[in-house]
Amino acid sequence: MSSDSPANPFGISAEQRVTVYGAQGRPEIAAFLPAHAFLAEPGANVPADVVLLVVGSAADLAHDLSGAAAAVEAGGVLWVCYPSATVEGEDRDLNRDTVASLLAANDWEPLADVTLGEKWSAVRGQPTGK
């Protein structure tokens, strides 16, 4: 059984296949990823039980969501990781509510959210009706 501890905020077990999109060039995200996560190149389709999509803006999310969502295996989940709105001095267009709204508009049900350190947050979703 998985745990949503600070060391495993996504509750990912060792048996689950994990694909991460958008983490290249963001080393601060690496601390939150399981060691067995596969870092996919942009545009790749690497199916997995858990897909993490790392985005920096609402435009990034709108652009990359369908590709990441397509990689989620039946019964799997999608996590959208985004910069926290609380980072001072930076104008952010994403927060828990905007991410949840974009997920819902694309037939994904937002289920939970977590904080990833001081600068990042994430929202978990699953396909609507599952």
Tens of pLDDT, residues 93-129: 899 999 999 999 999 999 999 999 888 999 999 998 7
Q: What is the pLDDT of residues 78-91, one digit of tens each?
A: 999 999 876 665 66
Residue with tokens 């709108």: 62
* Total domain count, the chain: 1
pTM of the predicted structure, to 2 decimals: 0.90
What's the mean per-residue pLDDT of the chain?
A: 89
CATH number of the domain residue 33 falls in: 3.40.50.150
d(CA 2, CA 28): 22
Domain housing 30: 18-127
- Contacts of residue 93, defined as CB under 8 A and 6 or more positions apart, other chains included, come to 57, 58, 59
- Note whether residue 26 is domain-resident: yes
**CA dihedral defined by 4, 79, 29, 58, rounded to 10 degrees?**
-140
- Note whether residue 65 is domain-resident: yes
